[in-house]
Structure 1
Amino acid sequence: MDVLTFFQQMVNGFSLGSMYALIAIGYTMVYGVLRLINFAHGDIMMVGAFLGYTFMEVFQLPFTLSILLAVVVSSLLGIFMDKIAYKPLREAPKISLLITAIGISFFLENAFTVFAGGVPRAFPVPSYMENVINVANITFSISSITVPLVTLVLLLGILYVLYKTKYGMAIRALSFDIKTVNLMGIDANLIISIVFALGSALAAVGGLFWAINYPSVEPMMGVLVGLKAFAAAVVGGIGSVTGAVIGGFIIGFTEVVVIAFFPELGGYKDAFAFVFLILVLLFKPTGIMGEDLEKSRF
Protein backbone atom coordinates (compact mmCIF):
# COMPACT_ATOMS: atom_id res chain seq x y z
CA MET A 1 0.00 0.00 0.00
CA ASP A 2 1.45 3.36 -1.01
CA VAL A 3 1.66 6.47 1.17
CA LEU A 4 -1.25 8.19 -0.58
CA THR A 5 -3.59 5.26 0.06
CA PHE A 6 -2.44 5.11 3.67
CA PHE A 7 -3.31 8.76 4.30
CA GLN A 8 -6.64 8.29 2.54
CA GLN A 9 -7.46 5.42 4.90
CA MET A 10 -6.38 7.54 7.86
CA VAL A 11 -8.94 10.16 6.84
CA ASN A 12 -11.61 7.47 6.61
CA GLY A 13 -10.60 6.06 10.00
CA PHE A 14 -10.71 9.51 11.58
CA SER A 15 -14.26 10.02 10.35
CA LEU A 16 -15.42 6.55 11.45
CA GLY A 17 -13.71 6.89 14.82
CA SER A 18 -15.45 10.21 15.41
CA MET A 19 -18.85 8.57 15.08
CA TYR A 20 -17.89 5.81 17.51
CA ALA A 21 -16.56 8.47 19.90
CA LEU A 22 -19.83 10.43 19.93
CA ILE A 23 -21.77 7.34 20.95
CA ALA A 24 -19.09 6.13 23.40
CA ILE A 25 -19.26 9.39 25.39
CA GLY A 26 -22.89 8.64 26.28
CA TYR A 27 -21.98 5.14 27.46
CA THR A 28 -19.18 6.43 29.66
CA MET A 29 -21.18 9.31 31.20
CA VAL A 30 -24.09 7.07 32.25
CA TYR A 31 -21.67 4.49 33.62
CA GLY A 32 -19.70 7.14 35.49
CA VAL A 33 -22.82 8.26 37.35
CA LEU A 34 -24.95 5.12 37.76
CA ARG A 35 -22.46 2.28 37.17
CA LEU A 36 -24.89 1.19 34.47
CA ILE A 37 -24.01 -0.13 31.03
CA ASN A 38 -26.94 1.33 29.11
CA PHE A 39 -27.25 -1.21 26.31
CA ALA A 40 -30.21 0.74 24.92
CA HIS A 41 -27.80 3.56 24.05
CA GLY A 42 -27.05 2.20 20.59
CA ASP A 43 -30.76 2.16 19.86
CA ILE A 44 -31.03 5.83 20.82
CA MET A 45 -28.59 6.36 17.96
CA MET A 46 -31.02 4.50 15.68
CA VAL A 47 -33.94 6.58 16.95
CA GLY A 48 -32.02 9.80 16.25
CA ALA A 49 -31.32 8.69 12.68
CA PHE A 50 -34.97 7.71 12.13
CA LEU A 51 -36.19 11.02 13.55
CA GLY A 52 -33.92 12.91 11.16
CA TYR A 53 -35.24 10.80 8.28
CA THR A 54 -38.85 11.40 9.34
CA PHE A 55 -38.51 15.16 9.73
CA MET A 56 -36.84 15.50 6.32
CA GLU A 57 -38.69 12.90 4.27
CA VAL A 58 -42.19 12.98 5.80
CA PHE A 59 -42.51 16.53 7.12
CA GLN A 60 -40.24 18.05 4.45
CA LEU A 61 -38.36 20.16 6.99
CA PRO A 62 -34.93 21.68 6.17
CA PHE A 63 -31.87 19.58 6.93
CA THR A 64 -30.51 21.75 9.78
CA LEU A 65 -33.88 22.06 11.51
CA SER A 66 -34.46 18.31 11.16
CA ILE A 67 -31.10 17.57 12.78
CA LEU A 68 -31.81 19.92 15.71
CA LEU A 69 -35.29 18.49 16.27
CA ALA A 70 -33.98 14.92 16.11
CA VAL A 71 -31.32 15.69 18.73
CA VAL A 72 -33.81 17.44 21.03
CA VAL A 73 -36.41 14.65 20.79
CA SER A 74 -33.71 12.02 21.38
CA SER A 75 -32.62 13.90 24.51
CA LEU A 76 -36.21 13.91 25.75
CA LEU A 77 -36.43 10.18 25.00
CA GLY A 78 -33.31 9.62 27.12
CA ILE A 79 -34.87 11.52 30.02
CA PHE A 80 -38.17 9.64 29.62
CA MET A 81 -36.31 6.32 29.52
CA ASP A 82 -34.56 7.15 32.79
CA LYS A 83 -37.78 8.28 34.51
CA ILE A 84 -39.83 5.27 33.44
CA ALA A 85 -37.33 2.42 33.50
CA TYR A 86 -34.25 3.29 35.57
CA LYS A 87 -35.42 5.67 38.31
CA PRO A 88 -37.70 3.09 39.99
CA LEU A 89 -34.67 0.75 40.19
CA ARG A 90 -32.17 3.15 41.80
CA GLU A 91 -31.91 0.97 44.91
CA ALA A 92 -32.23 -2.35 43.09
CA PRO A 93 -29.26 -4.63 42.35
CA LYS A 94 -27.22 -3.55 39.32
CA ILE A 95 -28.18 -6.68 37.44
CA SER A 96 -31.81 -5.47 37.46
CA LEU A 97 -30.77 -2.23 35.75
CA LEU A 98 -28.72 -4.17 33.21
CA ILE A 99 -31.61 -6.49 32.34
CA THR A 100 -33.92 -3.46 32.07
CA ALA A 101 -31.49 -1.78 29.66
CA ILE A 102 -31.44 -4.88 27.47
CA GLY A 103 -35.25 -4.99 27.58
CA ILE A 104 -35.51 -1.35 26.46
CA SER A 105 -33.11 -2.10 23.63
CA PHE A 106 -35.26 -4.99 22.39
CA PHE A 107 -38.41 -2.89 22.78
CA LEU A 108 -37.07 -0.02 20.66
CA GLU A 109 -35.76 -2.34 17.95
CA ASN A 110 -39.00 -4.28 17.67
CA ALA A 111 -41.22 -1.19 17.95
CA PHE A 112 -39.45 0.46 15.03
CA THR A 113 -39.52 -2.82 13.07
CA VAL A 114 -43.31 -2.98 13.51
CA PHE A 115 -44.04 0.67 12.73
CA ALA A 116 -41.30 1.46 10.20
CA GLY A 117 -40.66 -1.97 8.70
CA GLY A 118 -37.42 -3.90 8.60
CA VAL A 119 -36.39 -2.79 5.10
CA PRO A 120 -33.59 -0.20 5.03
CA ARG A 121 -34.67 3.24 3.84
CA ALA A 122 -32.49 5.67 1.91
CA PHE A 123 -31.51 8.63 4.06
CA PRO A 124 -32.01 11.99 2.27
CA VAL A 125 -28.45 13.34 2.36
CA PRO A 126 -28.13 17.00 1.26
CA SER A 127 -26.11 17.30 -1.93
CA TYR A 128 -23.56 19.66 -0.40
CA MET A 129 -22.63 17.03 2.22
CA GLU A 130 -21.53 14.76 -0.63
CA ASN A 131 -19.23 17.34 -2.23
CA VAL A 132 -15.62 16.20 -2.46
CA ILE A 133 -12.47 18.23 -1.77
CA ASN A 134 -9.15 17.07 -3.20
CA VAL A 135 -5.97 18.00 -1.33
CA ALA A 136 -2.67 16.52 -2.57
CA ASN A 137 -4.62 13.71 -4.27
CA ILE A 138 -6.36 12.85 -0.99
CA THR A 139 -10.12 13.18 -1.24
CA PHE A 140 -12.27 14.55 1.57
CA SER A 141 -16.04 14.59 1.49
CA ILE A 142 -17.72 17.41 3.38
CA SER A 143 -19.24 14.87 5.76
CA SER A 144 -15.86 13.25 6.53
CA ILE A 145 -14.55 16.67 7.56
CA THR A 146 -17.67 17.70 9.44
CA VAL A 147 -17.86 14.63 11.69
CA PRO A 148 -14.43 15.06 13.40
CA LEU A 149 -14.94 18.81 13.75
CA VAL A 150 -18.35 18.36 15.37
CA THR A 151 -16.93 15.63 17.62
CA LEU A 152 -14.15 17.96 18.78
CA VAL A 153 -16.57 20.82 19.43
CA LEU A 154 -18.96 18.57 21.36
CA LEU A 155 -16.11 17.06 23.38
CA LEU A 156 -14.92 20.52 24.37
CA GLY A 157 -18.51 21.45 25.22
CA ILE A 158 -18.97 18.38 27.43
CA LEU A 159 -15.65 19.02 29.20
CA TYR A 160 -16.65 22.65 29.75
CA VAL A 161 -19.97 21.56 31.28
CA LEU A 162 -18.25 19.00 33.51
CA TYR A 163 -15.45 21.22 34.81
CA LYS A 164 -16.70 24.80 34.53
CA THR A 165 -20.37 24.68 35.54
CA LYS A 166 -22.27 23.91 38.74
CA TYR A 167 -24.17 21.15 36.99
CA GLY A 168 -20.88 19.60 35.93
CA MET A 169 -19.62 19.76 39.50
CA ALA A 170 -22.83 18.04 40.61
CA ILE A 171 -22.36 15.33 37.95
CA ARG A 172 -18.81 14.66 39.13
CA ALA A 173 -19.93 14.60 42.77
CA LEU A 174 -22.78 12.25 41.90
CA SER A 175 -20.34 9.83 40.30
CA PHE A 176 -18.78 9.24 43.73
CA ASP A 177 -21.80 8.96 46.04
CA ILE A 178 -25.47 9.59 45.19
CA LYS A 179 -26.65 9.47 48.80
CA THR A 180 -24.15 12.06 49.98
CA VAL A 181 -25.08 14.35 47.11
CA ASN A 182 -28.74 14.13 48.12
CA LEU A 183 -27.82 15.04 51.71
CA MET A 184 -26.09 18.16 50.38
CA GLY A 185 -29.36 19.41 48.90
CA ILE A 186 -28.66 18.49 45.27
CA ASP A 187 -31.48 16.88 43.30
CA ALA A 188 -29.72 13.70 42.17
CA ASN A 189 -32.58 12.67 39.88
CA LEU A 190 -32.37 16.00 38.03
CA ILE A 191 -28.61 15.59 37.52
CA ILE A 192 -29.08 12.02 36.28
CA SER A 193 -31.72 13.27 33.83
CA ILE A 194 -29.21 15.83 32.53
CA VAL A 195 -26.64 13.06 32.03
CA PHE A 196 -29.15 10.96 30.08
CA ALA A 197 -30.16 14.00 28.01
CA LEU A 198 -26.54 14.80 27.10
CA GLY A 199 -25.67 11.17 26.35
CA SER A 200 -28.78 10.66 24.21
CA ALA A 201 -28.15 13.89 22.29
CA LEU A 202 -24.61 12.74 21.45
CA ALA A 203 -25.90 9.31 20.39
CA ALA A 204 -28.44 11.00 18.11
CA VAL A 205 -25.71 13.14 16.53
CA GLY A 206 -23.64 10.00 15.99
CA GLY A 207 -26.63 8.23 14.44
CA LEU A 208 -27.37 11.13 12.10
CA PHE A 209 -23.77 11.29 10.93
CA TRP A 210 -23.80 7.52 10.44
CA ALA A 211 -26.93 7.83 8.29
CA ILE A 212 -25.28 10.61 6.28
CA ASN A 213 -22.07 8.65 5.66
CA TYR A 214 -23.81 5.30 5.08
CA PRO A 215 -27.07 6.70 3.71
CA SER A 216 -29.73 4.34 5.00
CA VAL A 217 -31.72 3.80 8.19
CA GLU A 218 -33.19 0.58 9.57
CA PRO A 219 -34.28 -0.58 13.05
CA MET A 220 -31.24 -2.77 13.74
CA MET A 221 -28.61 -0.23 12.68
CA GLY A 222 -27.68 0.63 16.27
CA VAL A 223 -26.93 -2.89 17.48
CA LEU A 224 -23.44 -3.51 16.12
CA VAL A 225 -22.47 0.18 16.10
CA GLY A 226 -23.55 0.46 19.72
CA LEU A 227 -21.46 -2.56 20.70
CA LYS A 228 -18.41 -1.11 18.95
CA ALA A 229 -18.96 2.22 20.70
CA PHE A 230 -19.18 0.34 24.00
CA ALA A 231 -15.91 -1.37 23.13
CA ALA A 232 -14.44 2.07 22.41
CA ALA A 233 -15.59 3.33 25.82
CA VAL A 234 -13.98 0.35 27.56
CA VAL A 235 -10.76 0.65 25.56
CA GLY A 236 -10.48 4.34 26.46
CA GLY A 237 -11.36 3.69 30.10
CA ILE A 238 -15.07 3.63 30.82
CA GLY A 239 -15.94 6.56 33.06
CA SER A 240 -13.56 8.91 31.23
CA VAL A 241 -15.03 11.23 28.58
CA THR A 242 -11.65 11.91 27.00
CA GLY A 243 -10.90 8.19 27.10
CA ALA A 244 -14.14 7.46 25.24
CA VAL A 245 -13.08 9.76 22.40
CA ILE A 246 -9.59 8.22 22.28
CA GLY A 247 -11.11 4.75 22.28
CA GLY A 248 -13.49 5.72 19.46
CA PHE A 249 -10.62 6.92 17.30
CA ILE A 250 -8.59 3.78 18.05
CA ILE A 251 -11.45 1.46 17.12
CA GLY A 252 -12.19 3.47 13.96
CA PHE A 253 -8.55 3.51 12.84
CA THR A 254 -8.13 -0.18 13.62
CA GLU A 255 -11.19 -1.17 11.59
CA VAL A 256 -10.23 0.90 8.55
CA VAL A 257 -6.44 0.60 8.46
CA VAL A 258 -6.28 -3.15 9.07
CA ILE A 259 -8.64 -3.74 6.15
CA ALA A 260 -6.50 -1.41 4.01
CA PHE A 261 -3.42 -3.51 4.77
CA PHE A 262 -5.23 -6.86 4.58
CA PRO A 263 -8.14 -6.55 2.10
CA GLU A 264 -8.75 -10.28 2.26
CA LEU A 265 -9.91 -9.81 5.88
CA GLY A 266 -12.70 -7.42 4.88
CA GLY A 267 -15.34 -9.98 5.82
CA TYR A 268 -14.04 -9.95 9.40
CA LYS A 269 -13.86 -6.19 9.84
CA ASP A 270 -16.49 -6.14 12.58
CA ALA A 271 -14.35 -8.45 14.72
CA PHE A 272 -11.34 -6.13 14.86
CA ALA A 273 -12.92 -3.80 17.43
CA PHE A 274 -13.50 -6.66 19.84
CA VAL A 275 -10.10 -8.26 19.23
CA PHE A 276 -8.50 -4.90 20.08
CA LEU A 277 -10.74 -4.66 23.16
CA ILE A 278 -9.54 -8.07 24.39
CA LEU A 279 -5.89 -7.12 23.85
CA VAL A 280 -6.27 -3.86 25.77
CA LEU A 281 -8.07 -5.54 28.66
CA LEU A 282 -5.38 -8.21 28.88
CA PHE A 283 -2.64 -5.66 29.43
CA LYS A 284 -4.57 -2.74 30.96
CA PRO A 285 -7.91 -3.86 32.39
CA THR A 286 -8.97 -0.33 33.35
CA GLY A 287 -8.56 0.99 29.80
CA ILE A 288 -6.21 3.64 28.50
CA MET A 289 -7.49 6.52 30.65
CA GLY A 290 -9.00 4.46 33.44
CA GLU A 291 -6.11 4.27 35.89
CA ASP A 292 -7.22 7.01 38.29
CA LEU A 293 -10.98 6.78 37.88
CA GLU A 294 -11.53 6.07 41.58
CA LYS A 295 -9.85 9.41 42.33
CA SER A 296 -11.16 11.55 39.49
CA ARG A 297 -13.91 10.52 37.10
CA PHE A 298 -14.69 12.10 33.75
Structure 2
Amino acid sequence: MRRVLGNVLPVVLAAAMVLACQTVQTTGGGAVGVDRAQMMMVSAQEVEQASAKQYQEVLAEARKKNALNRDAATVQRVRRIADRLAAQTGVFRADAPRWNWEVNVLTSNELNAWCMAGGKMVIYTGLIEQLKLTDDEIAAVMGHEIAHALREHARERISKSMATGLGVSVAGALLGVGDAGQSLMGQVAAVTFELPNSRLHETEADRIGVELAARAGYDPRAAVTLWNKMAARSSGAPPQWLSTHPSHSTRQRDLADYAQRVMPLYRPAGGG
Protein backbone atom coordinates (compact mmCIF):
# COMPACT_ATOMS: atom_id res chain seq x y z
CA MET A 1 0.00 0.00 0.00
CA ARG A 2 2.81 2.43 0.85
CA ARG A 3 4.49 1.68 -2.47
CA VAL A 4 1.25 2.42 -4.31
CA LEU A 5 0.77 5.70 -2.46
CA GLY A 6 4.41 6.57 -3.05
CA ASN A 7 3.97 6.05 -6.77
CA VAL A 8 0.69 7.95 -6.94
CA LEU A 9 1.75 10.99 -4.90
CA PRO A 10 4.17 12.44 -7.47
CA VAL A 11 1.53 12.13 -10.17
CA VAL A 12 -1.04 13.89 -7.97
CA LEU A 13 1.41 16.67 -7.14
CA ALA A 14 2.35 17.12 -10.78
CA ALA A 15 -1.32 17.29 -11.76
CA ALA A 16 -2.00 19.84 -9.00
CA MET A 17 0.87 21.98 -10.26
CA VAL A 18 -0.49 21.97 -13.80
CA LEU A 19 -4.04 22.80 -12.67
CA ALA A 20 -2.80 25.65 -10.46
CA CYS A 21 -1.08 27.38 -13.37
CA GLN A 22 -2.85 29.82 -15.62
CA THR A 23 -1.56 31.52 -18.73
CA VAL A 24 -2.07 35.28 -18.73
CA GLN A 25 -1.30 38.19 -21.03
CA THR A 26 -0.44 40.97 -18.58
CA THR A 27 0.20 43.68 -21.16
CA GLY A 28 -0.33 44.63 -24.75
CA GLY A 29 2.78 44.61 -26.88
CA GLY A 30 3.05 48.36 -27.50
CA ALA A 31 5.34 49.62 -30.24
CA VAL A 32 8.23 47.57 -28.81
CA GLY A 33 6.33 44.31 -29.18
CA VAL A 34 6.66 42.81 -25.69
CA ASP A 35 3.77 40.33 -25.76
CA ARG A 36 5.03 37.12 -24.16
CA ALA A 37 2.37 35.04 -22.39
CA GLN A 38 3.15 34.28 -18.72
CA MET A 39 2.37 31.35 -16.43
CA MET A 40 1.00 32.33 -13.02
CA MET A 41 0.27 30.29 -9.91
CA VAL A 42 -0.73 33.14 -7.59
CA SER A 43 -3.37 35.82 -8.10
CA ALA A 44 -2.57 39.42 -8.97
CA GLN A 45 -4.73 40.56 -6.03
CA GLU A 46 -2.70 38.55 -3.53
CA VAL A 47 0.57 39.97 -4.82
CA GLU A 48 -0.76 43.53 -4.84
CA GLN A 49 -2.05 43.24 -1.28
CA ALA A 50 1.24 41.84 -0.05
CA SER A 51 3.13 44.55 -1.93
CA ALA A 52 1.02 47.32 -0.43
CA LYS A 53 1.70 46.03 3.10
CA GLN A 54 5.41 45.66 2.45
CA TYR A 55 5.55 49.15 0.94
CA GLN A 56 4.03 50.70 4.04
CA GLU A 57 6.54 48.88 6.21
CA VAL A 58 9.40 50.25 4.10
CA LEU A 59 8.05 53.78 4.42
CA ALA A 60 7.50 53.43 8.17
CA GLU A 61 11.08 52.26 8.66
CA ALA A 62 12.37 55.14 6.51
CA ARG A 63 10.39 57.62 8.62
CA LYS A 64 12.00 56.31 11.78
CA LYS A 65 15.40 56.96 10.22
CA ASN A 66 14.38 60.38 8.92
CA ALA A 67 15.14 59.12 5.41
CA LEU A 68 11.73 59.63 3.79
CA ASN A 69 11.20 62.52 1.37
CA ARG A 70 13.73 64.82 3.04
CA ASP A 71 14.24 67.10 0.04
CA ALA A 72 10.94 68.59 -1.15
CA ALA A 73 12.41 69.75 -4.46
CA THR A 74 13.68 66.26 -5.32
CA VAL A 75 10.37 64.68 -4.34
CA GLN A 76 8.46 67.14 -6.51
CA ARG A 77 10.83 66.50 -9.41
CA VAL A 78 10.53 62.73 -9.18
CA ARG A 79 6.75 62.76 -8.78
CA ARG A 80 6.33 65.06 -11.77
CA ILE A 81 8.29 62.61 -13.94
CA ALA A 82 6.43 59.60 -12.52
CA ASP A 83 3.05 61.21 -13.16
CA ARG A 84 3.88 61.74 -16.82
CA LEU A 85 5.06 58.15 -17.19
CA ALA A 86 2.05 56.69 -15.36
CA ALA A 87 -0.28 58.62 -17.67
CA GLN A 88 1.13 56.63 -20.61
CA THR A 89 0.74 53.17 -19.08
CA GLY A 90 -2.66 52.63 -20.69
CA VAL A 91 -0.83 51.84 -23.93
CA PHE A 92 0.24 48.58 -22.30
CA ARG A 93 -2.71 47.85 -20.01
CA ALA A 94 -6.01 49.67 -19.69
CA ASP A 95 -6.25 49.39 -15.90
CA ALA A 96 -2.82 50.82 -15.07
CA PRO A 97 -3.63 54.56 -15.27
CA ARG A 98 -6.20 53.96 -12.52
CA TRP A 99 -3.76 52.26 -10.17
CA ASN A 100 -3.18 53.95 -6.84
CA TRP A 101 0.26 55.16 -7.86
CA GLU A 102 2.57 56.27 -5.08
CA VAL A 103 6.14 57.57 -5.41
CA ASN A 104 8.55 58.35 -2.61
CA VAL A 105 12.23 59.24 -2.30
CA LEU A 106 14.50 57.58 0.26
CA THR A 107 17.77 59.13 1.39
CA SER A 108 20.32 56.39 0.86
CA ASN A 109 23.67 55.90 -0.86
CA GLU A 110 22.28 52.91 -2.73
CA LEU A 111 22.05 53.16 -6.52
CA ASN A 112 18.57 51.74 -6.57
CA ALA A 113 14.92 52.21 -7.47
CA TRP A 114 11.95 49.87 -7.63
CA CYS A 115 8.24 49.63 -8.31
CA MET A 116 6.07 47.08 -6.55
CA ALA A 117 2.89 45.53 -7.90
CA GLY A 118 0.12 48.10 -8.24
CA GLY A 119 2.44 51.08 -8.74
CA LYS A 120 4.19 51.53 -5.38
CA MET A 121 7.52 53.16 -6.22
CA VAL A 122 10.71 54.27 -4.51
CA ILE A 123 13.86 55.90 -5.86
CA TYR A 124 16.99 56.40 -3.78
CA THR A 125 18.87 59.70 -3.59
CA GLY A 126 22.15 57.86 -4.17
CA LEU A 127 21.04 56.99 -7.69
CA ILE A 128 20.01 60.55 -8.51
CA GLU A 129 22.91 62.35 -6.86
CA GLN A 130 25.88 60.05 -7.42
CA LEU A 131 25.08 59.55 -11.11
CA LYS A 132 23.90 63.16 -11.52
CA LEU A 133 20.81 62.04 -13.36
CA THR A 134 18.99 64.31 -15.78
CA ASP A 135 15.18 64.26 -15.92
CA ASP A 136 15.42 62.08 -19.04
CA GLU A 137 17.63 59.61 -17.18
CA ILE A 138 15.31 59.55 -14.17
CA ALA A 139 12.48 58.81 -16.61
CA ALA A 140 14.56 55.92 -17.98
CA VAL A 141 15.01 54.49 -14.47
CA MET A 142 11.38 54.91 -13.48
CA GLY A 143 10.01 53.77 -16.83
CA HIS A 144 12.01 50.57 -16.43
CA GLU A 145 10.70 49.98 -12.91
CA ILE A 146 7.11 50.77 -13.91
CA ALA A 147 7.47 48.22 -16.71
CA HIS A 148 8.27 45.49 -14.16
CA ALA A 149 4.97 46.29 -12.42
CA LEU A 150 2.99 46.41 -15.67
CA ARG A 151 4.36 43.02 -16.69
CA GLU A 152 3.75 41.64 -13.16
CA HIS A 153 7.25 40.25 -13.07
CA ALA A 154 7.14 39.86 -9.27
CA ARG A 155 4.02 37.71 -9.57
CA GLU A 156 5.67 35.66 -12.29
CA ARG A 157 8.83 35.10 -10.26
CA ILE A 158 6.80 34.04 -7.23
CA SER A 159 4.85 31.64 -9.44
CA LYS A 160 8.01 30.17 -10.92
CA SER A 161 9.48 29.73 -7.47
CA MET A 162 6.32 27.88 -6.40
CA ALA A 163 6.39 25.72 -9.52
CA THR A 164 10.10 24.95 -9.13
CA GLY A 165 9.67 24.02 -5.47
CA LEU A 166 6.80 21.70 -6.24
CA GLY A 167 8.66 20.27 -9.21
CA VAL A 168 11.69 19.51 -7.05
CA SER A 169 9.44 17.75 -4.53
CA VAL A 170 7.93 15.64 -7.30
CA ALA A 171 11.35 14.81 -8.75
CA GLY A 172 12.68 13.96 -5.32
CA ALA A 173 9.79 11.56 -4.73
CA LEU A 174 10.26 9.98 -8.13
CA LEU A 175 14.02 9.57 -7.81
CA GLY A 176 14.01 8.74 -4.12
CA VAL A 177 16.59 11.39 -3.25
CA GLY A 178 16.93 13.00 0.14
CA ASP A 179 17.17 16.64 1.22
CA ALA A 180 20.70 17.04 -0.11
CA GLY A 181 19.69 15.78 -3.52
CA GLN A 182 16.65 18.02 -3.62
CA SER A 183 18.79 21.00 -2.59
CA LEU A 184 21.21 20.29 -5.42
CA MET A 185 18.38 19.96 -7.89
CA GLY A 186 16.97 23.23 -6.59
CA GLN A 187 20.26 24.96 -7.35
CA VAL A 188 20.34 23.45 -10.82
CA ALA A 189 16.76 24.57 -11.39
CA ALA A 190 17.66 28.10 -10.26
CA VAL A 191 20.59 28.37 -12.67
CA THR A 192 18.69 26.75 -15.51
CA PHE A 193 15.34 28.51 -15.17
CA GLU A 194 15.43 31.51 -12.85
CA LEU A 195 18.54 33.27 -14.16
CA PRO A 196 17.60 33.29 -17.85
CA ASN A 197 14.06 34.36 -17.03
CA SER A 198 15.34 37.17 -14.84
CA ARG A 199 17.45 38.43 -17.72
CA LEU A 200 14.35 38.26 -19.88
CA HIS A 201 12.45 40.35 -17.36
CA GLU A 202 15.16 43.00 -17.43
CA THR A 203 15.11 43.14 -21.22
CA GLU A 204 11.32 43.43 -21.29
CA ALA A 205 11.42 46.24 -18.73
CA ASP A 206 14.13 48.05 -20.69
CA ARG A 207 12.10 47.95 -23.90
CA ILE A 208 8.79 48.98 -22.35
CA GLY A 209 10.62 51.63 -20.32
CA VAL A 210 12.01 53.43 -23.37
CA GLU A 211 8.56 53.49 -24.96
CA LEU A 212 6.95 54.92 -21.81
CA ALA A 213 9.66 57.57 -21.64
CA ALA A 214 9.23 58.54 -25.30
CA ARG A 215 5.46 58.77 -25.02
CA ALA A 216 5.80 60.88 -21.84
CA GLY A 217 8.06 63.41 -23.62
CA TYR A 218 11.43 62.18 -22.32
CA ASP A 219 14.28 61.34 -24.66
CA PRO A 220 14.42 57.52 -24.82
CA ARG A 221 18.11 57.67 -25.74
CA ALA A 222 18.78 58.72 -22.15
CA ALA A 223 18.45 55.04 -21.23
CA VAL A 224 21.76 54.48 -23.00
CA THR A 225 23.56 57.32 -21.20
CA LEU A 226 22.09 56.06 -17.92
CA TRP A 227 23.52 52.58 -18.38
CA ASN A 228 26.85 54.04 -19.52
CA LYS A 229 26.98 55.70 -16.12
CA MET A 230 25.98 52.45 -14.44
CA ALA A 231 28.66 50.56 -16.37
CA ALA A 232 31.30 53.02 -15.18
CA ARG A 233 30.24 52.35 -11.58
CA SER A 234 30.09 48.55 -11.99
CA SER A 235 33.59 47.55 -13.04
CA GLY A 236 34.34 44.00 -12.01
CA ALA A 237 30.70 42.91 -12.33
CA PRO A 238 30.17 39.19 -13.03
CA PRO A 239 29.92 38.07 -16.68
CA GLN A 240 26.46 37.83 -18.20
CA TRP A 241 26.17 34.07 -17.92
CA LEU A 242 26.55 34.27 -14.12
CA SER A 243 24.32 37.29 -13.62
CA THR A 244 20.59 37.84 -13.28
CA HIS A 245 20.99 40.99 -15.38
CA PRO A 246 22.16 41.32 -18.97
CA SER A 247 25.78 42.43 -19.38
CA HIS A 248 26.27 46.16 -19.82
CA SER A 249 27.36 45.78 -23.45
CA THR A 250 24.33 43.64 -24.29
CA ARG A 251 22.03 46.02 -22.50
CA GLN A 252 23.47 49.11 -24.13
CA ARG A 253 23.09 47.63 -27.62
CA ASP A 254 19.49 46.60 -27.01
CA LEU A 255 18.58 49.93 -25.43
CA ALA A 256 20.15 51.86 -28.30
CA ASP A 257 18.20 49.76 -30.81
CA TYR A 258 14.83 50.12 -29.07
CA ALA A 259 15.36 53.80 -28.25
CA GLN A 260 15.71 54.43 -31.98
CA ARG A 261 12.58 52.39 -32.68
CA VAL A 262 10.46 54.60 -30.42
CA MET A 263 11.98 57.93 -31.45
CA PRO A 264 8.94 58.65 -33.72
CA LEU A 265 6.85 58.63 -30.51
CA TYR A 266 9.09 61.17 -28.80
CA ARG A 267 7.84 64.74 -28.57
CA PRO A 268 9.82 66.84 -26.08
CA ALA A 269 7.60 68.49 -23.48
CA GLY A 270 6.89 72.00 -24.73
CA GLY A 271 8.48 71.17 -28.06
CA GLY A 272 7.09 70.50 -31.50
TM-score (norm: length of structure 2): 0.31
Structure with larger RCO (C-alpha < 8 A, sep 6+): 1
Larger radius of gyration: 2
Compute the TM-score of the two structures, normalised by the length of structure 1: 0.29
Structure with the bigger percentage of helix:
1
